[in-house]
């Protein structure tokens, strides 16, 4: 486990503890902040997993990744040109 995953898990655990403390102390703001920290930790984990999967896929199939990046770049450029032409006309 690398530090990115450890930070995500730590945020999730700290958020659960904060949420529980807020419920025990009947402090809704503390409980809500804890829930937000839990969601932040879960989103960090999802982002880390996506980054790992992307890194593995690029390492296994670099030409496919290059082709996909070129296609996305071409599509974004075409959309930008179309949008620019609409706003000028």
DSSP string for residues in the chain: --HHHHHHHHHHHHHHHHHHHHHHTT-HHHHHHHHHHHHHHHHHHHHHHHHHHHHHHHHH-HHHHHHHHHHHHHHHHHHHHHHHHHHH-
Q: What is the mean pLDDT of each run of 10 residues along the chain (89 residues)?
A: 89 95 95 95 95 91 92 95 81
What domain range is 72 assigned to? 3-88
25 backbone dihedrals φ, ψ, rounded to 5°: -90, 0
pTM listed for this prediction:
0.67
Q: How many domains does the chain have?
A: 1
Token pair of 40 as six digits: 């932040």
Digit-coded pLDDT (tens) for 29-51: 999 999 999 999 999 999 999 99
């Amino acid at each position: 486990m690398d530090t990115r995953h450890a930070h995500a898990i730590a945020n999730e655990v700290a958020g659960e503890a904060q949420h529980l403390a807020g419920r025990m102390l009947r402090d809704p703001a503390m409980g809500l902040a804890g829930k937000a920290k839990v969601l932040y930790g879960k989103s960090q984990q999802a982002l880390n997993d996506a980054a790992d999967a992307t890194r593995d896929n690029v390492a296994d199939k670099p030409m496919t990744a290059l082709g996909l990046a070129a296609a996305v770049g071409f599509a974004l450029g075409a959309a930008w040109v179309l949008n620019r032409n609409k706003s000028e006309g």
